[in-house]
Amino acid sequence: PGRPAAPPAAGSLVNSKIRRLAVGLLVCYIALFAQLNLLQVGQREELAEDPRNDRQTTRDFNRPRGPIVTADGVVVADSVASAPGDSFKYQRRYPTGDLFAGITGYYTFNFGSTQLERTQGQVLLGTTAAQRVQAITGLLGGSDNSGSVLLTMRNDVQQVAKDALKDPTTGEMREGSVVVMEPSTGAILAMYSFPTFDPNLVAVHDSETARNVLDFLNNYPGKPLLANAYQERYMPGSSFKVITTGIALENGVTDLQRVFPVETEYIPPQTTDPIANYGGKACGGTMIEVFYRSCNIPFARMALELGPERMVAGTTAWGIGEQLPIDLPEAAASSFGDVEDFTEALPLLAIGGFGQGSDVMVPLHMAMVAATVANGGRMMAPYVVDATRFHDGSVLERTRPSVWRTPISSQTATQLNSLMVGVVNQGTGTAMQLANGIQAAGKTGTAQLNATGEPQRSHAWIIGFAPAESPRYAVSVVLKGTNDEISAGTGGRLAGPIAKQVFDYLFASEAQP
């Protein structure tokens, strides 16, 4: 006892240090393993899209990238061998120029990709899980694993839509959009907007040249880099009366026998400023008559009778306020307003009832409105990709049509159908009367953008479908009020002939052997 403890043996000290070192190395290994998994799995997409990371992009530009093809077999995007001396093996090419720019977008080294080039990038490169599995099994028999994208859109109809936007007198392009879709499926056959751009000018491998083109386009009036048909929204004017009427019919506020007073002015609550019909004309009569004559006051009255709650709920049922569910990126949302926006501003609600005030609608959405009436009250989700395919042409994935909204009953849809037939036969839409006796249904709109006393500025609209008795196609057309001629015109006079040109072509092409 009292004797000092013996010092630990040298071997014991060594073993203790080894254990601490082993534990430390194990902790480091676990941390390294976790970080690698975080980088390779958790942050894979974020790192791949980081503009400072060009390794993956360089690899992609030296690999085959598959084509985007229309329903009628026209290649609208593909890759070809680069010119000798180029820093990359492949050059992305857009054979139809600006015709499908709003659908394909562009694919660049320094400035990323847009539209389908962005959303379908993995399919085109062949890097989806299914494509990798097929490559492993050796079914392809080669190193090219790229896929392709098959569109619902037709090159011929897209070209007709573009040509229809030209001024019939001067041949110059007018700013606006044309959308054509199948009411029963939501498949889009054409969707063209002007101004637009040629993606070949952006897809060049010279970064300075590409930057200059993008800078020019970003500063060009009319937003040509946006696909205005589904990424922009405009005041709809009287084309919105289809929606107001649908809401009023669903809520029992009106029926086809209702009679409205003939009047030139109407003063809504909370104001002394009267509402007038277009051009200050006296207008009234049955529901059928005020619809085909496009009187403003009856629709203002209906919006007020519905009140903020029911009117807003009705617009929500039509999908207004929600981003459109198309298989393209960054779709816009139409807008009407919230209940609180109108509770103390009933005149704004009244004006909104006939498509003015704070109402703004996406051209694609207005085509969907027409298609909903044509489809018995069911609003289908729109889509442009029919199918994606493996390199050997077999189907990777096919789009299945789906109902997005059911804002009106089949009975209301039938009533709106008959009202829209009246617009074409004896109302403001007679310019959309089709060849060969085919009955069309439509609704015009002239959205007045200027305040009282200012020079007139307006958008010209028409929406519709045909044949009315068994609809196969729905369309929306808007011409932007960028000049005096368009602003002085009406939807029926200016947009109507565009819709007719598209419809007549569609039915004529059906008749060809």
Give exposure, 151-167, as e/b (b: 16+ Cβ within 10 Å): bbbbbbbbbbbbbbbee
Dihedral sign for Cα 497, 500, 502, 504, please.
Answer: negative
Rounded Cα distance between 327 and 321, Å, is 18
Helices (H), 219-272: 228-231, 241-250
CA–CA distance, 69 with 477 (Å, rounded to integer): 25
- What's the DSSP call for residue 14? H
d(CA 460, CA 489): 7
Sequence-distant contacts of 107-112: CB under 8 A, at least 24 apart: 107/65, 107/77, 107/203, 108/202, 108/203, 108/210, 109/54, 109/57, 109/58, 109/61, 109/205, 109/207, 110/51, 110/207, 110/210, 110/211, 111/202, 111/210, 111/211, 111/214, 112/49, 112/51
C-beta separation of 173 from 480 below 8 A: no
Question: In the block, which residue shows the tokens 């491998």?
Answer: 205
Half-sphere exposure of residue 171: CA atoms within 13 angstroms, side-chain side: 0
Closest CA to 185 of 323, 331, 319, 372: 372
- What span, in angstroms and rounded, lies between the C-alpha atoms of 508 and 364? 24
**CA–CA distances in Å: residue 239 to residues 106, 114, 460:** 33, 31, 10
DSSP code, position 513: -
**Identity of residue 442:** G
- Sign, Cα dihedral of 361, 366, 368, 370: positive
Q: For residues 81 and 395, give the distance between their C-alpha atoms in angstroms, rounded to a whole number.
A: 26
Three-state DSSP at 181 gives strand
Among 79, 238, 334, 476, which one carries the catalytic annotation?
238
Compute the distance between CA of residue 312 and CA of residue 498 in angstroms, rounded to an integer: 32
Q: Tell me whether residue 238 is one of the annotated catalytic residues.
A: yes
How many DSSP H helices and E strands does the chain contain? 19, 17
* Catalytic machinery residues: 238
